[in-house]
Structure 1
Amino acid sequence: MTQTLKMSVAAFALMASGAWAAQDSIIIGMQLEPPNLDPTGGAAAAIDEVTYANLFEGLTRFASDGAVVPGLAQSWSVSEDGLTWTFDLRPGVIFHDGTAMDSADVVFSLNRARAEDSTNAQKALFAGIADVSAPDASTVVITLDAPNGNFAFNMAWGDAVIVAPESVATNATQPVGTGPFRFVEWAKGDSVTLERFDAYWGAAPALTRATFKFISDPNAAFAAMMAGDVNAFPVFPAPETLANFDADPRFSVIVGSTEGETILAMNNANLTDVRVRKAISHAIDRQAIIDGAMFGYGTPIGTHFAPHNPDYVDLTGGSAHDPDMARALLAEAGATDLRLSMALPPPSYARRGGEIIASQLRAVGIATDITNMEWAQWLEQVFRGKDFDLTIVSHTEPADINIYARPDYYFQYDNAGFQALIETLGITADPDTRTTLLQDAQKMIAADYVNGYLFQLAKTGVADSRIEGLWQNAPTQANDLTGVSWRAGP
């Protein structure tokens, strides 16, 4: 080797080492593009995946282990009767547009979220609030209609973030929050770019720039990771290729759990006979769906509750795969020539799972007409319009069994007994009693066969092996970049 070549190689190595040490930007892959960027005005999980803890913050927040920790409120206290919550706000917080965040913004945000004309997708989180007041700029007092030991948990949801009246009207496309990153650009159909907000009240993140790149096709996602066009794909859409990444030292495969109960949702206003819903549930072979649609990643569930939760009850036996029972139930219900519509949103678990379920239903005499939808159409027709018979979706919100107490929710389950149970749960603080109530709730919806319960969505991610701090589990739908950094060196 010539001396000149040796010097060139050494110089290149030094440059490469410096580049590794100085890496401070990241490109995150996401399968779905959010319909907007306002977490207080949309139901799509992709909104929080971009904005939670990055752009927007609430009074409290979820940590990576699911614990509720301080957010914009540095502390809080609860009155003896459980009705009055007093939040002490952090000093020196400003929005990305330079305006100060104080108690007036909190009052505005919570009153807006609970207003009669609110478009908040989780309006029920705020239903128990009787009054919100601001005795001074750094204090917020929230009065509840009834005690709610879960209130700090409710305030940690992405739907409960604090927004400003000056910028709220344009948050869908030009979001302005208080988080450690500020919005730079949304290239529709391609990506959203954020950059570090230097006036952030808390510890500065290691990253100075983050781009969320939207790649809907699993094959394209694989190619982008392999080519280095994307640095990390926290929820990778092609689990069948994970073995390739696992064998490649350039990558880390990150497998964890999520709050995503993946269900075959049934429109209970159309499928009113519990025998038909029960037949559909027994026609389903969960493991075949997990193997065929998720390549073995996923935990079977028999109710709408995460298996990693200590209050979970395994009820899978009550809807075990039993085609003969399904046929008998359909005959008993006089539904032997049943034909149902199945609306499938974009995720691969839905598209792949839908084809498998359609085949399983066909085997017991139920025909399905499948319609593949983009998220905007699914949200409009299925979630809001309730125009469907069957659909497949993962409910990634944490501990959300209370949605079954909302008769106007998209699957339209209306059970006064369940509603009373959830109301009692809301005012119960004793841990043992709460466990009993939560387990009764799980059993009730399983016995009513409200939906076909499929599996708990696994969090299967891929990242450049030099990246540290990505969440392994998903206690909420988020790509929290506040603790993410690049390890120096190759």
Structure 2
Amino acid sequence: MRNRDHNQNSVTRRGLGILAAALGASAAVMPMAAMAQSISSANLAMVGEPQSLDPMASTADLVGTIMQHVYEPLFTFDANWATQPMLAAALPAVSADGKTYTIELRKGVKLHNGRDLDSEDVVASLKRWLEMTPRGKGLAKSISILTAKGPSTVEIQLSKVEPALLAHLALPSGFAAIMAKESIATPLTEFVGTGPYKFRERKPDQFVVLVKHDGYASRSEPASGYAGKREAKIDELRFIPVPSANTRVEGAIAGQYQFADQLPVESYKKVSAASGTRPVLTMPFGFPYFPTNTKQGPMADLKVRQAFQMTLDLEEVMMAGFGELKFFALAAEHFPKGSPFYSEAGKGKYSSKPDVAGAKKLLAEAKYDGAPIRILNSKQYDFHHRMALVMAEQLKAAGFKVQIDVVDWATLVQRRGDPALWDIYITHSAFLPEPMLSPPQLGEGAPGWWSSPAKEAALGAFNNEPDPAKRGALWGKVQQVVYDEVPYIRAGNFAALAGASPKMSGYAAMPWPSFWNVALAK
């Protein structure tokens, strides 16, 4: 999209033009003022142009944010990040060995073409997801049979236990969207789902328009996170690509946008003081973390890694990255309270305050020879570099020699694959509600190359337990090993800032913004 100023009159004229075309010939002769009163419409400023409207063709969060209104998954997450049914009638029946999932579908769910959803739609959609998406391809190796058992039953048979299966099916990024089987094509030319909104129009670099699906069949449970009741209270959602963060801020303040996503945290005071918008913080939105090279160099020594952990003042590091306490939170736990994976295991080793004397003692025991600790980071994420600078000074105070290697992000991604080129690198992840989705250091072969008997034992027990209730307790043992062996340091949580109109009600801050159950006052 070209950077340009938006003014309220031009946005209004464009919106009314879309509405006139949408409502047909009879509506076209209506007075424009009457149309504006009869249709509610929201202008939603997004960070850019979506790469695609196919939720399986891209893992970009923007694609998932828009198309989760059109398509729905079998399962989703509630406000506590527990997995709940969406198009499934209930959580699946799982066999005693954890390898067979029987999923009953809700009856009476209407596709946007008016037909009832059935198990063949689900099987065709999931097969496409398994073939197209990175997470789907990974799971496909464990899925031996995916079949329809009658019009409303789907069966998945696994060759090995995959306890994160439901979380993979629920995640909105690159998500397992259920679509009408007759619409399936590559690329998609029709977007036929079951969601509370239907696709109407896309004009590249201008907008994506979704309109209320009058035949939507909602769940009856109270709304919670992405789960429960969904209702389209706004008639039209217009997702507008606005790559310039400053333009999003100014447009929100002027009232041109009823919602503006991903605003710079530096604009918080300005947004707070404006009458046309209000600040909305999503916490946790993500977390910075610092992988260590356990394969080669000084950090291959466990005592050196433990000294690194003891050296850090993470409050100071996070303050350097995010500036104010409202934009970050110190958190020893990897998952927040309410999550099935909340645990305080290892909390005593979380470096909210440094132990310089203890770190020096460990370095002496390790016979650390003064080899430079190379901190690989990129200025393309300013907060990464600011954290690296503060971290370096803390390490020096404990007796480490430090070398800061600043590169562009593409070079960092390349270099982190070579254990000869770094000792620590700075990165971050979006908050994801399932441990096996992030961070990658828990998997095999990720940069850092963490492998140990304690890891294998704890992670093996966790990944071989299909019972969600038991998995929660087992995660605590994995978290403890992370603190003991320091394959990475998770610094804390950080927030994302958005702007929402004072006329908007019902919006719940979540990592993938959703606008069902949201209303606009006239």
Q: TM-score range by the shorter chain?
A: 0.7 to 0.9
User: Among residues 399, 411, 415, which one is paired with 2:434 in the alignment?
Assistant: 399
Per the alignment, in what secondary structure is the counterpart of residue 49 of structure 1? helix
Contact conserved, 1:61 with 1:70, CA < 8 A, in 2? Answer: yes
Residue deviations 1:427-462 (CA, integer Å, cap 9, x gap): 436677434311111111122212221112235432
Residue 499 of structure 2 corresponds to residue 462 of structure 1 = yes
Relative distance call for 1:272 and 1:121 in structure 2 (3 A) is farther
User: Among residues 316, 319, 339, which one is paired with 1:291 in the alignment?
Assistant: 319
Relative distance call for 1:246 and 1:261 in structure 2 (3 A) is same
Structure 2 partner of 1:108: 124
Relative distance call for 1:18 and 1:98 in structure 2 (3 A) is closer
Residue 174 of structure 2 corresponds to residue 157 of structure 1 = no
1:38-437 pair list within 5 angstroms = 38-51=54-67, 53-75=68-90, 77-79=92-94, 81=96, 82-91=98-107, 101-114=117-130, 119-121=133-135, 123=137, 128-145=142-159, 151-158=165-172, 159-163=175-179, 164=181, 166-171=183-188, 177-179=193-195, 180-182=197-199, 184-185=201-202, 187=204, 190=205, 192-196=207-211, 198=213, 201-202=216-217, 205-215=232-242, 218-238=245-265, 240-258=266-284, 260-266=286-292, 268=294, 272-294=300-322, 295-296=324-325, 297-302=327-332, 304-306=334-336, 309=339, 311-313=342-344, 315=346, 317-320=348-351, 321-322=354-355, 332-343=367-378, 350-362=381-393, 364=396, 365-373=401-409, 377=410, 381=414, 390-401=425-436, 403-409=440-446, 412-415=449-452, 417-428=454-465, 433-437=470-474
Contact conserved, 1:41 with 1:120, CA < 8 A, in 2? Answer: no
Structure 1 partner of 2:483: 446
How far apart, in 2, do the equivalents of 1:432 and 1:87 lie?
A: 19
Q: CA deviation at 1:137?
A: 3.3
Contact conserved, 2:292 with 2:486, CA < 8 A, in 1? Answer: no
Contact conserved, 2:376 with 2:412, CA < 8 A, in 1? Answer: no
How far apart, in 2, do the equivalents of 1:119 and 1:104 lie?
A: 20
How far apart, in 1, do the equivalents of 2:370 and 2:48 lie?
A: 37
Q: CA deviation at 1:481?
A: 1.6
Question: Match of 2:44, as an amino acid?
Answer: I
Q: CA deviation at 1:395?
A: 3.0
How far apart, in 2, do the equivalents of 1:72 and 1:150 lie?
A: 18
Relative distance call for 1:186 and 1:447 in structure 2 (3 A) is farther
Residue deviations 1:98-135 (CA, integer Å, cap 9, x gap): 887532333234344446xx542465556653321112
Residue deviations 1:312-345 (CA, integer Å, cap 9, x gap): 216454142345666676674435323342146x
Q: CA deviation at 1:192?
A: 4.8
Q: CA deviation at 1:183?
A: 6.2
The 10-residue stretch of structure 1 (451-460 or 255-264) with the greater mean CA deviation from structure 2: 255-264
Structure 2 partner of 1:8: none
How far apart, in 2, do the equivalents of 1:267 and 1:94 lie?
A: 51
Residue deviations 1:5-36 (CA, integer Å, cap 9, x gap): xxxxxxxxxx9998986562222234466554
Provide the alpha-carbon RMSD of the alignment.
Answer: 4.1
Unpaired runs of 5+ residues, structure 2, are 1-30, 219-230
Residue deviations 1:247-292 (CA, integer Å, cap 9, x gap): 4454333334336333234455565444454454445432224333
Contact conserved, 1:93 with 1:101, CA < 8 A, in 2? Answer: yes
Relative distance call for 1:379 and 1:366 in structure 2 (3 A) is closer
Per the alignment, in what secondary structure is the counterpart of residue 284 of structure 2? strand
Relative distance call for 1:481 and 1:416 in structure 2 (3 A) is farther
Structure 2 partner of 1:25: 41
How far apart, in 1, do the equivalents of 2:244 and 2:292 lie?
A: 27
How far apart, in 2, do the equivalents of 1:124 and 1:393 lie?
A: 22
Say which structure, 1 or 2, has more relative contact order (CA 8 Å, 6+ apart). 1
Question: Match of 1:88, as an amino acid?
Answer: E
Contact conserved, 2:183 with 2:192, CA < 8 A, in 1? Answer: no
Q: CA deviation at 1:479?
A: 1.4
Normalized against structure 2, the TM-score is what? 0.72
Unpaired runs of 5+ residues, structure 1, are 1-14
Question: Match of 1:334, as an amino acid?
Answer: D
Question: Match of 2:500, as an amino acid?
Answer: A
Relative distance call for 1:456 and 1:178 in structure 2 (3 A) is same
Question: Match of 1:485, as an amino acid?
Answer: A
The 10-residue stretch of structure 1 (103-112 or 225-234) with the greater mean CA deviation from structure 2: 103-112
Question: Match of 1:209, as an amino acid?
Answer: E
Relative distance call for 1:121 and 1:312 in structure 2 (3 A) is same
Number of residue pairs matched by the alignment: 457
Question: Match of 1:285, as an amino acid?
Answer: D
How far apart, in 1, do the equivalents of 2:101 and 2:521 lie?
A: 42
Question: Match of 1:55, as an amino acid?
Answer: V
User: Among residues 481, 484, 490, which one is paired with 2:515 in the alignment?
Assistant: 481
Structure 2 partner of 1:6: none
